[in-house]
Amino acid sequence: MTTGSRWNDAPRAGWRAVVRMLSRSRCHLSTHGLASRPMLRPAAFVWVCGTLLASLLPALPAHAVYAIAQYGEPKYPADFKHFDYVNPDAPKGGTLVLGNPNRQTSFDKFNPFTMRGNPAPGIDMLFETLATGSADEPASAYALLADDIRIAPDRLSTTFHINPHARFSNGDPVTADDVKFSLDMLKSPQASPAVSAYFNDITRGVVVDLATIRFEFRQANRDLPLLAGSLPVFSHKWGLKPDGSRVPFDQLAFQQPIGSGPYVIEHYENGRTITYKRDPNYWGATLPVRVGTNNFDRIVYKLYSDSVVRLEAFKAGEYDAYVEYVARNWMRRVVGKKFDSGELIKHEFEQHNAAGMQGLFLNQRRPLFQDVRVRKALDLAFDFQWLNSRLFYGKYTRTDSFFANTDLKATGLPSPGELALLNPWRAQLGPAVFGPPPLQPDTDPPGSLRANLLQARALLEQAGWTYRNGALRNALGQPFSFEILDDSSSAQSMEPVIAPYLRNLQKLGIEAKYRTLDFAVVQKRLDAFDFDTTISRTLGVQLPGSEQVGIFGSKAAGEPGSNNMIGLRSPAVDAILRALVTAQTREQLVDATHALDRVLMHGYYVVPQWYSGAHLVAFKRGLAWPKTLPLYYQAEDWITSMWWFAPQ
């Protein structure tokens, strides 16, 4: 069977990517290659037959559909033993200690699905999904909590049968009622808008019997069966009080989650440290999809006050592995005696993740940024070549697409399929969209920053901004000024990047200020869209789906806490998004994505920055990893799920 997929930022976005964006709104980044929220823990499934519970459940047809793929067939057959990128003989044991996996410096809840507060790092390890993807194919899903997936012929529903072995951490069996409860909570107003929007096209879950649930869809969308499979499942007893009353879902804080994942919370302290213990009764430990994974007995997270303290703590031996996102730091600061002696090791791991769009996001809710000529001028003032040579040691590539590092990036002239989507909106889009994608400004000879700034000045004049009385002003005499909002934990690494950009803007008469605030304050402002510009990143996906509606759709622009950072409201984009999520073939999907990319890039809604083709990881001697690397993965998740301590 084939269907749409929804699994990665490695390999697909998935609920974990959405949830982790909530721990720093919309994938806010570190810098110089910029650390987005860690994404999905790669995994997949094999169905397992028979248990005592199975005799109590209605029988299904003999041949289970163990996996689905968007196009063609899943890579792994039904009888596969393990994924190619794991070590099936990896030894178990030891305690892995990690620092902040993002810029979060504290946590105040265990519920990762609500908007308010900061969830504990690593909390996603407590929740399994009905199905999950592999890390070496972009568009497949293997059943996990489920052992059978049935897509209706009209594609308006998908039915999942739950693996009879599946258990929650309290020992209860996972039932269809629990799955429905999870869906209802995540679609409710008590969940974060980003999470509820993610599952919006699932109209309802219908309990067929104790172990069977049917998801009904708003439309026949090839993306939806896999979206339904990505539902994280938790027990209906989570938040249930002894008297039978319930803590409202959005008020769940430090109530222990009752999940079905491989780890449980052992203890935590002061919102700064948390220890997860591998559940000795984890129901899925022997599944082929879990062979070679979850090798550490315990995983501890220590949250440090800022990135400088975190790095120094690693160099002092306080924790075991460190992922660097700043090339300059990698070359100049991730060094020292322990690296010279071999006690600490540096390694660059190749990865093929979709890069997404990283850059300076311009909030269209501000009148200042509503003219495309103004936005293009701000792009022209950014000198990537200077930064890459002076600060980044030539390690980065300029981002020139919202789908960079994939074949979904628009190139050349629009294809006939793209034109069919673009032509109805020709008057709104303008002629440039029907030509090649725009080239990003270049200051390498024969290009120059001066030439780019002259072009920017001309565009600003066309938009009604002229230099007088010591500043660039509009017809009302108002100066061109704005704020770049960031959180204080990234200031040291980001300021060297922002400072030359501010100087370039000053040459145009623009006053821009780089303002840093506490992490929690910045998150609240971003949730309320109370900012001029901020540095962020869209999810990188190998095959885009409904998540794009939450990032670029008009409806999301008006929903506080949504992922539509730029405040885009465009009927043309909405129409292209409808074509994208309803694409029935890969060719249709590619055409829709190319068309979307053209419109977004010609809109200059973001000042693009850069991406890297490698993960920069430092670790203590004694840690080991599989010989075969995944294709699509986030370094932090790869370490926690597939590394191990080598026997000494």
Give a yes or no: residue 316 inside a domain. Answer: no
Stated as kind and residue range, the H or E segment containing 346 is strand 344-350
Asked if 346 and 321 count as a contact pair (C-beta separation under 8 A), the reply is no
Is the bond preceding residue 11 a cis peptide, omega within 30 degrees?
yes
- The reply to whether 196 falls in a domain is yes
Residues 581 and 635 in one domain: no
On whether residue 465 sits in a domain, the answer given is yes
- In Å, what is the CA distance from 605 to each residue of 358, 375, 378, 601, 634? 12, 7, 10, 7, 26
**Do both 524 and 562 map to the same domain?**
yes
Q: Does one domain contain both 626 and 558?
A: no
| CATH assignment at residue 130 | 3.40.190.10
Return the CATH number at 426: 3.10.105.10
The answer on 148 and 189 residing in a single domain is yes
544 and 175 in contact (C-beta within 8 Å)?
A: no
Name the nearest CA neighbour of 40 among 17, 73, 19, 65.
Answer: 17
Q: Is residue 309 part of a domain?
A: no
Do 560 and 522 share a structural domain?
yes
* pLDDT given for residue 539 in this prediction: 80
The reply to whether 447 falls in a domain is yes
pTM comes to 0.78
Over the chain (648 residues), what is each successive 10-residue block's mean pLDDT? 31 51 41 33 29 34 66 88 96 97 89 93 96 88 92 93 97 98 97 89 97 95 88 96 95 96 96 96 91 97 92 97 91 95 96 92 97 98 95 92 94 97 95 96 95 98 96 96 88 85 97 91 92 91 87 94 94 97 91 98 97 94 97 94 93
Side chain identity at residue 154, one-letter code: D
Domain match, 229 and 86 both: yes
Q: State the total domains in the chain.
A: 2
SS3 of residue 141 by DSSP: strand
Residues 209 and 272 in one domain: yes
> CA distances (Å), 215 to each of 13, 127, 210, 547, in order?
20, 19, 15, 18
Query: Could you give phi then psi for residue 450, rounded to 5 degrees?
Result: -60, -45
Q: What's the half-sphere exposure (Cβ side, CA atoms, 13 Å) at 488?
A: 10
Q: Name the residue range of residue 448's domain.
A: 358-611
pLDDT of residue 484: 97
Q: Which amino acid is it at 469?
A: N
- pLDDT of 58: 38
Could you give the CA distance from residue 546 to residue 562 in angstroms, rounded to a whole number? 14
The verdict on 95 and 58 lying in the same domain is yes
- My answer on whether 22 and 57 are in the same domain is yes
pLDDT of residue 8: 35
Is residue 239 in some structural domain? Answer: yes
Are 401 and 497 in a shared domain? Answer: yes
Contact 6, 223 (CB under 8 A): yes
Residues in contact with 375: Cβ distance below 8 Å, sequence separation at least 6, in sequence order = 362, 369, 603, 604, 605
Q: Do the domain assignments include residue 343?
A: no
Task: Kindly state whether residue 326 falls inside one of the protein's structural domains.
Answer: no
Query: Given this model, what pLDDT does residue 39 score?
Result: 27
Per-residue pLDDT at 584: 86
Same domain, 546 and 638: no
452 phi/psi in degrees, rounded to 5: -65, -40
- Do 611 and 312 meet the contact criterion of CB atoms below 8 Å apart? no
pLDDT at 257: 97
Separation of first and last alpha carbons in the chain: 46
Shared domain for 393 and 518, answered yes or no, is yes
